[in-house]
Amino acid sequence: MRLTLRSVTATDVGPARPNNEDAAFAGRRLVVIADGVGGLPAGEMASETVIETLAPLEEQETPDPAAALEEAVARANARIAADGHGAGTTVTAGLLHGAHLGLLHVGDSRGYLLAAGAADIVRLTRDDTFVQLLVDRGALTAEEARGHPRRSVITQAVQGEPYHAATALLPLEPGDRLLLCSDGLSDYVDDATIGRVVRETADLDACAGELVALALAKGTVDNVTVVVADVVHDPSTRSV
């Protein structure tokens, strides 16, 4: 079975930032979210570098999508190192091949999956953050972590230095829905509310727009960006 993505992206600079350090790609095979760190203009340059480096994967067939993402992010990391601006960025990316999604994650942007017919959304990524380490050790609950003053302190990023990317290969089905988002959403809106919007808002543009609006209504002071993608049959493979 061969699948494709119908994907959209929405973003808002938020009420407190002079620029948008988030960048995203929403394609038929490739979806990416990158949240720059390092301030103006370095963070914005780093996130754009990741998107520019990964974008050609949209048109490149590969039998190992997770490995292809790893190689592309490594190239982006080398470019960031060569630029020498002290920039960094998170990256969460999915690349579709056949009926499987290669997934790569570094930092605290997130990936979610709402499986076809499921009631609850599932988080696909683990935050590379200081507070997540505390949660893992039992020192904080997940709810306490969401309100912690150091919740935005990340433990690794793509910043021209060594990093460890988490990767996975996930089976998908028609009717599944994917969400990638920057922490401008996930730091202010809980997973249950995110899942309700993703489940109940059928139109992709409306879903993406509602998630961004909800983050703003909940008081986000960060840039907020989302990519929402529906998994469908690839029409080019259907018999006539």
pLDDT tens digits, 144-194: 777 777 777 899 999 999 999 999 999 999 999 999 999 999 999 999 999
Here the CATH number for the domain that contains residue 83 is 3.60.40.10
Nearest CA among 149, 175, 90 for reference residue 125: 90
Model confidence at 40, pLDDT cuts 50, 70, 90, reads: low
pLDDT over 50 (residue 232): yes
Higher pLDDT, 226 or 38: 226
| Rounded Cα–Cα distance for residues 181 and 5 (Å) | 17
Contact, 102 vs 68, CB < 8 A? Answer: yes
Please tell me the predicted confidence (pLDDT) of residue 238: 54
**Pairwise pLDDT comparison (120 vs 136), residue with the higher score:** 120
Q: Within 10 Å of residue 172's Cβ, how many Cβ atoms?
A: 20
pLDDT at 16 over 60: yes
- At 96, list the tokens: 């579709």
Domain that holds residue 168: 3-237
2 vs 66, higher pLDDT? 66
Cα 204 to Cα 54: distance, rounded to the nearest angstrom: 23
Q: Which residues pair with 224 in a beta bridge?
A: 12
| pLDDT at site 164 | 96
The backbone region for 219, taken as left when phi is positive above 0, alpha when psi lies in -120 to 50, beta otherwise, is left
Greater confidence, 221 or 151? 221
The per-residue pLDDT for 240 is 37
* Whether pLDDT at 237 is above 70: no
pTM: 0.94
User: Three-class SS of residue 207?
Assistant: helix
The number of folded domains in the chain is: 1
Q: What local confidence, expressed as pLDDT, does residue 190 receive?
A: 93
